[in-house]
Structure 1
Amino acid sequence: ANQRYVIPNNGVDTSTLRVKIKESDASSTSTEYTLVNNIAGITSTSNIYLIQETTDEKYELLFGDGIFGNKLSTGNIIESSYIVTNGKDGNGASFFEFTGTIVDDQNTVITDFSPNLQVLTKASDGDSIETVESIKNYAPRNYSAQNRAVTANDYEAILPAIYPNIESVSAYGGEELNPPQFGRVFIAAKPRNGLFLANSTKKQLLRSLKNYSVAGIVPEFVNLKYLFVELDSFVYYNTNFVGDIENLKSDIVNAVTQYSKSQELNKFGGRFKYSKVISLIDGVNTAITSNITTVKIRRNLIANVNVFSQYELCYDNEFYYSNPSYNIKSTGFSVSGVVGTVYMADQVVSGSKIGNLFLFQQTNTESIKIISTKFGTVDYEKGEIIINTVNITSTVQADNVIEIEAIPLSNDVLARKELYLQLDVGNSTFSTLEDSISSGANVSGTRFNPKSSYSNGAKVRGALITSTGESLLVGYVNGVPYYGEYHTMADGTLMTGAEHSESSQPISSSPTTSTTSTTSTTPSTSTSSTSSYSSSSGY
């Protein structure tokens, strides 16, 4: 009968598995066998083995049949050693004690030595066994790839196999870009622990991919970018069927939080399904009669502080722009040459699907002061924001972050290419309101006014910071605000530059229209020092 060799423990870390074969129980020597994942190059005498998962989360060892791999004989002894893990429970461990045996070159046990272990980095990357959903996703892809990377789908299947710490991966061909980059495959990956792959890990994976890549195709890693979905939800309830309102609100938040952890969201190619969320909220408690929930999408721009930079943010979801302006909103930040906190917003170009970004300050809840009318551009159809070269000196949010929000045209939000979708419950709002019609307090509905199904009319994102100080605006050059150095001519005319030269331009006290100017529209302070320029995007 065919014998089976099943490892008796579950939770085995197969990367630590070592298998040795002894001719018999009396043998003093053993031969180490090598784990392989395919039979390419295997002969009848190759000392190899394979593993496969069996019942109860255990592994079975498979040996050769004498054609592909050396065949075991009756009486052979199989020795397997491995580490049994606790999965995620082992993450963060920082104290380890040596329990093994130390031997010298002659295999003699050394007894007068006590190792002192110093832990430099806490344990990480531990995880539970692969889920059934993950197996269903990757098994057909791995079979289709056949251990070679030709298409983008092949890379998505192979990478988790060679680096199990990958939680989600997205690969796409350069031909999908504008302009196209033929012969390249771009890869974005989210590790199971942490936000981004380390550069050293990327280099290691690129070396490993050479064993699978075909000639003429160059793989390249790109940083993943987070696309956040936020909700503003007004939940109506019948007062006759609910006791503690705070408990009801807590149950709503917990239900949405649980949904935010689902696999259909937290991945590349993830999709936020609006109908599921509003149904989920309605089903939290029988007292809930309805909910009015609006959706926002957000990207975080990481500012290159004190460096002149241009920024590009791709949301890859079409923007909704019903208003002539303030469809795009940001948190506050500061730029060189302007005193106080500034914000950015959009102005729709009439009859088109694009808009211009403008920079402004809020002097009070009603009044604003325009700082620059040409701060950047918005492509509503592509879901893309480009910010012209600017020197950002600080941000209201921590870690040099500027949060930029938009309203998606569709309430179903997709994560394409290198975008990784996350439902941000912490920045979502959930308000509970009495349904006076259902409760009987106002059966006719004459005093019942439902909340709007559209976004709020605020001009900025987050807390409003008013600016009472004056900016360092000198005047206007070709209709563009000028904040740099200047000098005064004999007739009183202000000119750009600390000293007069052929390149000096007149500065007017009010905006003028010009069709020939190509001057940068970003506020900046003119100095004699060399400035640094870079291009960046958010995460």
Structure 2
Amino acid sequence: EDDETPRYGIVKIGVKAASGSTLTETTKADIVNKLKPYNVASVSPQIVDPETTSVLLTSTVKYDSKSTTKSSDTLKSEITTTVTNYNTNTLQKFDAVYRHSKLTGIIDDVDTSILSNITTIKIRKNFTPTLASSTKYDIYFRNSLFNPHSGHNKSAGGILSSTGFKVTGSDLEQFLDDDGNGNVRRYYLSSGIRTYSNETQGTIDYNTGQITLNSLNVASISNIRGATSTVIEMTVTPNSNDVVPVRDQIVEIDIANSTINVTADSFVGGSADAGVGYTTTSSY
């Protein structure tokens, strides 16, 4: 009953498949049948697929090249392995919270030569549109989103981005962003400049993390990272660096689409330049 759209008399049960991404409909029906002897009064179980919220990392790691014989590529490989193990062993469960300080800590601990890491995150979900049909879509991040003030980053697209698609009646590739005021906008690029086709295509609730797209008529879906896709990806900046799975959600790090840069630090143990010209990485 605390779902965004409550259905009374139904108990949703999220089940993560041991292999593969989701259970087959036959397996779901079999589970429901096996649970029937335990049903309470008019309450019926419904097996649902888990929703995945992907965490995208951008990490800049600095190390002391004088204290190790390892190259930056070797350190990057070791960091990637460590993050992958954290993702597999700690996340990808219904009750597993992505805790940012834990992640940055294990990166620092990969090697004694590592001096620091500045790691930022975005989170991503996708949805499968019904083609050639004017449809409403709800995307639930269920984590608050970054919006420090009204109109935040309006001219640059707010904190929402999407992969491309085309709408019925137009051959222009379209994308989605937000205006920092709670509106989702649809636009296309003209000579690299955003030109808005619809500035009220939907809404974005920065407190709950719910995005609603109204009457979106998708004709086709663009390839994603060079591969044919049946989904549209929605990427946002969360308000917190910790990401919590709610109800049937699972949080996982998208290793393949995260970015890890490892560079030798030029300012170790003091410098005759006293830090002049030293470049730091933004934490935002």
TM-score normalised by structure 1 residue count: 0.49
2:179 matched to which residue of 1?
347
1:272 matched to which residue of 2?
98
Quote the Cα distance in structure 1 between the aligned partners of 2:277 and 2:17. 52
Residues 137-536 of structure 1: pairs in structure 2 closer than 5 A? 175-243=1-69, 244-262=71-89, 264-322=90-148, 323-325=152-154, 326-349=158-181, 355-365=182-192, 367-396=193-222, 397=224, 398-438=228-268, 440=270, 444-454=274-284
- Compared CA separation, residues 439 and 404, structure 1 to 2 (3 A): farther
Task: Check whether the contact 2:161–2:236 (CA below 8 A) recurs between aligned residues.
Answer: yes
Task: Check whether the contact 1:305–1:400 (CA below 8 A) recurs between aligned residues.
Answer: no
Question: Shift of the alpha carbon at 1:269?
Answer: 2.2
Where do 4+ consecutive residues of structure 1 move more than 4 Å?
439-443
Structure with higher RCO (Cα < 8 A, 6+ apart): 2
Equivalent position SS for 2:283: coil
Question: Shift of the alpha carbon at 1:370?
Answer: 1.0
1:29 matched to which residue of 2?
none
Quote the Cα distance in structure 2 between the aligned partners of 1:218 and 1:401. 30
Structure 1 residues not aligned, in runs of 5+: 1-174, 350-354, 455-539
Quote the Cα distance in structure 2 between the aligned partners of 1:250 and 1:380. 36
Quote the Cα distance in structure 2 between the aligned partners of 1:178 and 1:333. 27
Q: Deviations over 1:266-315 (max 9, x none)?
A: 11122111111101111111111000000111001222223332211101
Quote the Cα distance in structure 2 between the aligned partners of 1:392 and 1:304. 7
Q: Which amino acid aligns with 1:357?
A: V
Question: Shift of the alpha carbon at 1:402?
Answer: 1.4
Quote the Cα distance in structure 1 between the aligned partners of 2:178 and 2:196. 12
- Compared CA separation, residues 442 and 320, structure 1 to 2 (3 A): farther
Q: Deviations over 1:332-362 (max 9, x none)?
A: 111122222111000122xxxxx11111112
Q: Deviations over 1:180-212 (max 9, x none)?
A: 433321111111011111111111111110111
Quote the Cα distance in structure 1 between the aligned partners of 2:91 and 2:134. 35
Quote the Cα distance in structure 1 between the aligned partners of 2:168 and 2:190. 19
- Compared CA separation, residues 187 and 276, structure 1 to 2 (3 A): same
1:107 matched to which residue of 2?
none
Quote the Cα distance in structure 1 between the aligned partners of 2:239 and 2:66. 37
Percent identity, please.
32
Quote the Cα distance in structure 1 between the aligned partners of 2:282 and 2:111. 23
Quote the Cα distance in structure 1 between the aligned partners of 2:57 and 2:272. 28
Quote the Cα distance in structure 2 between the aligned partners of 1:443 and 1:241. 21
Quote the Cα distance in structure 1 between the aligned partners of 2:20 and 2:272. 52
Quote the Cα distance in structure 1 between the aligned partners of 2:232 and 2:15. 24
Equivalent position SS for 1:253: helix
Question: Shift of the alpha carbon at 1:441?
Answer: 5.4
Task: Check whether the contact 2:72–2:263 (CA below 8 A) recurs between aligned residues.
Answer: no
Task: Check whether the contact 2:72–2:264 (CA below 8 A) recurs between aligned residues.
Answer: no
Quote the Cα distance in structure 2 between the aligned partners of 1:229 and 1:451. 20
* Larger Rg computed on CA atoms: 1
Quote the Cα distance in structure 2 between the aligned partners of 1:439 and 1:362. 48
Question: Shift of the alpha carbon at 1:178?
Answer: 4.1
Q: Which amino acid aligns with 2:175?
A: Y
Q: Deviations over 1:23-72 (max 9, x none)?
A: xxxxxxxxxxxxxxxxxxxxxxxxxxxxxxxxxxxxxxxxxxxxxxxxxx
Task: Check whether the contact 1:237–1:287 (CA below 8 A) recurs between aligned residues.
Answer: yes
- Compared CA separation, residues 179 and 311, structure 1 to 2 (3 A): closer
Question: Shift of the alpha carbon at 1:440?
Answer: 4.9
Q: Which amino acid aligns with 1:375?
A: Q
Quote the Cα distance in structure 2 between the aligned partners of 1:363 and 1:254. 41
Quote the Cα distance in structure 1 between the aligned partners of 2:209 and 2:169. 30
Equivalent position SS for 2:268: helix
Q: Deviations over 1:380-416 (max 9, x none)?
A: 1111111111221222222222111111111111111
Quote the Cα distance in structure 1 between the aligned partners of 2:191 and 2:95. 42
Task: Check whether the contact 1:356–1:373 (CA below 8 A) recurs between aligned residues.
Answer: yes
Task: Check whether the contact 1:442–1:448 (CA below 8 A) recurs between aligned residues.
Answer: no
Quote the Cα distance in structure 1 between the aligned partners of 2:17 and 2:262. 37
Equivalent position SS for 2:77: helix
Equivalent position SS for 1:176: coil
Equivalent position SS for 1:272: coil
Q: Deviations over 1:146-192 (max 9, x none)?
A: xxxxxxxxxxxxxxxxxxxxxxxxxxxxx212454333211111110
